[in-house]
Amino acid sequence: MNRRVLRAAACCCALTLSACGSGSRGSVTPPDGRLDKCTVRFSWWGGDDRHEATLKAIELWNQKHPDITITPEYGGWDGWQEKVAAQFSGGKEPDVMQINYDWLVTMSPDGKGFYDLGQLSEQLDTSGISDEILSFGTVEGRLNAVAVSVTGRTFFYNSDVYRSAGASYPETWDELIALGIKFGENGIYPLDLDIQSGGTAWYLAAVYVQQTTGREFIDMGGNLGFTEEDIKAALDFYKKLEDEHVIRTIRTRTDEDGNAALYQSPEFIGGRVAGVLEWGSSVGKYESVLPEGTLEAGPLLSDGRGNDGGWLVKPSMLYAVSRNTDHPDEAAAFVDFLLNDADCAKVLGTTRGIPSSRYALESLEKSGLLTGLSKQSSDMLTSERTVTVSPYMELARVKDMCNEALEKVSYGTADTEAAAAELYASLETYLEKTRK
């Protein structure tokens, strides 16, 4: 298996701290009179916790650098990619953008879709970020974007519900499935998976098969690693989770939640859904809707027979600068502020995960802020044999194809064999076209 292991988290923590000494800033030129007085647009997506922290960070920037005004543009994930893609195609994208990993494939396949940040080194200091993390945003030798953090999905549970049920957090797939029966007696679900939001359901099914077979779903070059039989096994596993009352069926979820995201669902907020699988960099939106201290991280699952790999990690998000910006130096200076400034780090905390910059990381450690669910998630993933998510797995069309297969199986309009055959053929055709 092609394992680009989660060295990022390790690099962000003990390894960078020991290898880099005091971690003093490099020779990057700070914003000063040589920069123009201007307005820079900055866009991002996230939950309320990220929005609030980022707006405070912008206020801090505007206090320190009143001549360069940052105009925020932000919202939730649903529909966000389509909005930015429309801006991008019209050359109207913001100067600074928080981008997703797969956008490098769709928006900059030749490395020329975004500004080459390597040309802005006087304003943007990348000395506190490892070469491996920088490679995530490098396309055809051009630094298109810088990863804010590296993240993976982890299980998070409502501790009050589990305690009331007299249940422990599962450590194996079999223990998770057994909880479906135990919780089902009281009409509660031990876990639930968003189908549409980021492809969480397929993610878990893919991890299960990666762990049991040692094969990757899609490799870094965009080649399908699963066989048709592997895809069927993933669909069978998902259907078993529904049948054993581990998760709600898609019909049940739609009837109860409508279009609401899982963290906004009355079923989750009220405790009828007692667990989620979420990126460590985004768990704050779930944590914020429950009483303080209620949500806890649980173990990454294994088969109980020594197979514990297959869990996926990726850049949580990256910062990029528009190739069309009229203010590249000012935009780069703001990116440097977001990544490296000690005061900004304390404001942002871990709302985007554990920082990839050792300067921000040191600020959080000195301030006692390197704690919480995001840190716990990072620590667990660091100790596992993880696999880096292929950017092709993050493509919207790939997620749609996988979600459509899950829906057919859930609603009973296709059995797992037929759905697997169709999904396999569709993925092969689409990935071949996309690689060209």
Continuous H helices in 2-102: 7-10, 16-19, 48-64, 80-89
Question: What pLDDT shows up at residue 198?
Answer: 65
C-beta separation of 276 from 161 below 8 A: no
Do residues 65 and 207 share a domain? Answer: no
Do residues 319 and 301 share a domain? Answer: no
| Integer angstrom CA distances of residue 311 from 153, 194, 429 | 8, 18, 26
Do residues 18 and 101 share a domain? Answer: yes
Is 148 buried (19+), middle (13-18) or exposed (0-12) by CB count in 10 A?
buried
DSSP class of 224: B
Where a domain ends, among 377, 399, 425?
377
pLDDT single digits (tens) 39-92: 999 999 999 999 999 999 999 999 999 999 999 999 999 899 999 999 999 999
Do residues 171 and 220 share a domain? Answer: yes
Do residues 19 and 133 share a domain? Answer: yes
Domain with residue 52: its CATH number is: 3.40.190.10
Residue 382 maps to a domain: no
The domain total for the chain is 2
Q: What are phi and psi of 20, to 5 degrees?
A: -110, 10
Burial 120-147 (b: 16+ CB within 10 A, else e): bbebbbbbbbbebbbebbbbeebbbbbb
Residue 408, amino acid:
K
Q: Which secondary structure element, helix H or strand E, spans residue 405, and what is its range?
A: helix 396-411
Give which of 372, 345, 385 is closest to 361, Cα–Cα: 345
Residue 367's pLDDT band, with cuts at 50, 70 and 90, is very high
DSSP class of 243: H
Do residues 147 and 158 share a domain? Answer: no
| Integer angstrom CA distances of residue 54 from 11, 42, 84 | 24, 10, 19
Do residues 235 and 157 share a domain? Answer: yes
- Residue 249 tokens read as 């069926």
Range of the domain at 19: 7-151+315-377
Please state the pTM of the whole predicted model.
Answer: 0.88
Do residues 257 and 273 share a domain? Answer: yes
Do residues 169 and 136 share a domain? Answer: no
pLDDT single digits (tens) 151-194: 999 999 999 999 999 999 999 999 999 999 999 999 999 999 97
Within 10 Å of residue 379's Cβ, how many Cβ atoms?
16
Do residues 206 and 265 share a domain? Answer: yes
Q: Which secondary structure element, helix H or strand E, spans residue 156, and what is its range?
A: strand 145-158
pLDDT single digits (tens) 237-273: 999 999 999 999 999 999 999 988 899 999 999 999 9
Q: What are phi and psi of 318, to 5 degrees?
A: -135, 155
